[in-house]
Amino acid sequence: MPELPEVETIRRVLEPQLKGKLIRQVRLSRPEIISAPTAEEFCRRAEGERICSLGRRGKFLQIELHSGAEIVLHLRMSGCLLLAPKEYPLAKHTHAIFELEEGEELRFSDVRRFGRLWLLAPGQEDCTGRQKLGLEPFDPQLTPEYLQQIWGKKKRPIKDCMLDQQAVAGIGNIYSDEILFRAGIRPDCLGCNLEEEQRQRLAQMIPQTLAYFIEKNAISPQEYLDGGGRDYRNTPFLQVYGHSAQPCPRCGSLLERKVIAGRSSVFCPACQNFLGGS
């Protein structure tokens, strides 16, 4: 499932290629992927627009258009955005095709079909859910004090707190495990039991870890296309996620897996020894 680093990778790969391009036509094979306005209206308004830039907020991608309108996308579980020449083989489950100039197409595919698109007119009230997002992980306001304010009273495990998009936007199951490993905190430590030192480490490790994985995911446009937009090059650099029952890369102890708030967490019982509240 794409989290912030993967969405940021898509943004970085596609933005230089999409900038200034005209959307000639939009074709939808599954109109239900359009959340707002109606599918018909979506196509009508997008056609004839020129793409200004590609932005990101949390795990949302934002295609900013010349009129000031924007197309907002959430990839959810398995959404994928590709820019391809029109003769390039069409991926299965391609639900939307934006025909651009010079025989190129921007294609949205999604096996699980949870991904959604919106088109917002300039100044229109946001109905995407973006307005409820918490701070961006790279926001300088993400300080130990902010973490105290949002998590200081939470009687929920820190793993669960980190997945809450209204606190910090963009972190999912993979990177919460990686961040907690680097910070030496057990995923089942309650938010209210964090101490100043742990909050400081988290405030540092959240942006540092995500920046590291964005960097490791760097890919050229051709490689991105050849990999169908799913070639996540940072996977070999994951230290704990997906490594349950394997030795900890730092101390050699066996990594453990525990289900917390319905999500699987992998952690090192030796390195991640902070549980607090004793």
Binding residues for Zn ion, rule: CB under 5 A, are 248, 250-251, 253, 268, 270-271
Task: Supply the minimum distance, in Å, between the C-beta of residue 247 and Zn ion.
Answer: 8
Find the catalytic residue in 2, 137, 157, 187.
2
Residue 242 to residue 59: CA distance in whole angstroms: 21
Of 67 and 253, which CB lies nearer to Zn ion in the complex structure?
A: 253
Residue 196 token pair = 């100043």
Q: How many residues does the chain have?
A: 278
Among 15, 274, 4, 3, smallest CA distance to 139 is for 4
Find the catalytic residue in 11, 59, 130, 159.
59
Residue 272 token pair = 């991640």
Q: What is the DSSP letter of 253?
A: P
Q: Is 263 a catalytic residue?
A: yes
Of 98 and 267, which CB lies nearer to Zn ion in the complex structure?
A: 267
State residue 14 phi and psi, 5-degree precision.
-85, -30
Q: Is 216 a catalytic residue?
A: no
Of 129 and 249, which CB lies nearer to Zn ion in the complex structure?
A: 249
Q: Is 19 a catalytic residue?
A: no
Q: Is 3 a catalytic residue?
A: yes
Find the catalytic residue in 3, 49, 70, 256.
3
Find the catalytic residue in 50, 57, 233, 263.
263
Of 181 and 232, which CB lies nearer to Zn ion in the complex structure?
A: 181
**Residue 63 and residue 70 in contact, taking contact as beta carbons nearer than 8 Å:** yes
How many helices (DSSP H) and strands (DSSP E) are in the chain?
Answer: 7, 11
Active site members: 2-3, 59, 263
